[in-house]
Chain A
Amino acid sequence: MITLKLKEQLTIPLETEVISPDQFLAKNAAEIAHLPVVHGNQSAELGDFFTITGADGDGEIHVEGDLGRVKGIGTEMSRGRITIEGSVGMHLGAKMRGGEIIVHGDTGDWAGAEMHGGFIHVKGNAGHGLGGAYRGSPRGMNRGIILVDGNAGNETGAIMRRGLIAVQGNVGDFAGAFMIAGTLIVFGSLGGRPGAGIKRGTIVTFNPPELLPSFQYDCLYRPAFMRLVLQNLREHGAQVSDEQMTGYYHRYSGDFNALGKGEILVYDKR
């Protein structure tokens, strides 16, 4: 396992896409220290900011410190596991393809943006654009699982194509906006305009949302697939009750301003 400890608190952002099991593969601490990073608008080396110990062997990376201004950890990673003690900055696990990132704190915006696989577990809150699409991109998250124990910001799962995002708390506005497919589960409350422009895909919430008029009510039923999805989330550490697994859900179709083959499922608490 490689351990990185931030030497001192940062005042300007540090871009660290190199903190990835793929980049650390078969390197020792000295070699890892020479990997390039960008500090503000200056090129630098990873070792300038982190104390690095250990050697790669099992694809595990442990990162410690006040990482709020450390951006891009785990970008495009395809294997291994990154554990982060504390909160971390923007673009965590963006475009990742495999492996696992566990954050014992909060993440900045764009965590898991456009990811293609793997698993991100944020034990605190997540920022805006969780699993979303960067401006101008045709699609956001395209496989993999993101689990947030706390809340998430606006545009969670925007334009997602595949995959599963689960937020145990609340999310901001435009959750699942323009979704193409995939599943977004919000155990708390949805913000404004959820599913705006959704083509296909599923948004699930456990509190009554305020829906756009371009959604139509369908029925109250027990969707069999929810057992599979929620069981899968349980196995990844989510708190899911038996009632949620087996309960009834109100189904709304939409967005009829778009293709209209998406759905919002609202748990029936009776």
Chain B
Amino acid sequence: MTKIVNGVEIEDTFAEAFKMWGARVIITAKNRKWALEAATKMTGFATSVIGCKCEAGIEAELEETPDGRPGFSVLLFTPSKSDLPKRLMERIGQTVMTCPTTACFNGLDAPDRLSIGGQLRYFGDGFQMSKVVNKRRFWRIPVMEGEFLIEEKFGMQRSVGGGNFLVLGENVDVTLEATERAVEAMQKVRGIVLPFPGGIVRSGSKTRSQYKFLIASTNDAYCPTLRGAVKSELPEGVNSVLEIVIDGLTVEAVEESTRVGVLAACIPGIRRITAGNYGGTLGQFQIHLHKVLEEGVPA
């Protein structure tokens, strides 16, 4: 059964999402410019675990931070529990500690704890100092600019990666506008990030290739230029498809962001919204488009 929202067909299907491990990192700095600079660098080249080892994004600009300075929260996800500390160490060490005036704090109160500052402190070569404030230990690492402050332990929790939906439009302009509106609405939901550039993916993939050395290749069924050459999934009149991928700390946050995103993308010129899955055989989570839209669809 199809559902129509603002004239857009919502296909009765589901996004197949996967179990991930996630952490929230709070980055502060002297001013917004440098906090954003560090957050942007830390989440750079972190679009897909296929090629980047992790997925990450800026969750929000914060009104309150542990040290009262301007700051951003960043979410970072990895497929395995053991990978998360490695990626955090690499990225905080190379992009936050190196950025002028920054400090770095844990933003996730979770029972599983990773020693991140507790490892990065060794950069201080024996001159590092620790301070315990409100039962939280922080490390002060001397650096050429002054001192880098980082919390010793960061929480991590089971999370959800690969939530998604595809927006099928009449042309690239309207499809881009629809997905931009969706991203704007989704970024107000806490606990999720959209790891791709601007939150939007143009090169969705399938999990196979005719080339043995590739594990993923272009999603030909949704490529408008291949409509006549392959078994296309594109309805008539669709000439461009863009995808939004969602990673979240909880499945509820992913569902809520899917709901607000799909609704925001339903504008004239969009023919259909669907979602990517593998028939339910691979992912641990199924985010059904109709189910998440049951509440909140405009009358």
Contact = CB atoms under 8 A, between A and B. Distances in A.
Interface of A: 143, 162, 164, 181, 183, 200, 202, 219, 221-225, 227-229, 231-232, 245, 261, 263
B146 interface: yes
Contact of A202 (B103, B131, B149): B131
B67 A224 contact: yes
Contacts of A183: 131
Nearest to B138: A225
B132 interface: yes
A183 to B, nearest CB: 7
A225 B131 contact: yes
Interface of B: 66-69, 103, 127, 129-134, 138, 140, 146-149
Contacts of A181: 130
Contacts of B147: 221, 223-225
Contacts of A225: 131, 133, 138, 140, 147, 149
Contacts of B134: 232
B131 A228 contact: yes
A223 B132 CA distance: 15
Most buried by A among B127, B133, B147, B148: B133
B140 A228 contact: no
The 5 closest A-B pairs by CB, nearest first: A224-B149, A227-B67, A221-B146, A228-B133, A224-B103
Nearest to A235: B134
B68 A245 contact: yes
A183 B146 CA distance: 19
A27 B54 CA distance: 58
B18 to A, nearest CB: 37
Contact of B138 (A162, A228, A261, A263): A228
A201 to B, nearest CB: 9
Contacts of A231: 67-68
A16 to B, nearest CB: 30
A200 B69 CA distance: 28
Nearest to A222: B146
A263 B127 CA distance: 11
Contacts of A202: 129, 131
B105 to A, nearest CB: 9
A227 B69 contact: yes
B68 A229 contact: no
28 contacts: A162-B132, A164-B133, A200-B129, A202-B131, A219-B146, A221-B147, A224-B67, A224-B103, A224-B147, A224-B149, A225-B133, A225-B138, A225-B140, A227-B67, A227-B68, A227-B69, A228-B66, A228-B67, A228-B133, A228-B138, A229-B131, A229-B133, A231-B68, A232-B133, A245-B68, A261-B127, A261-B129, A263-B129
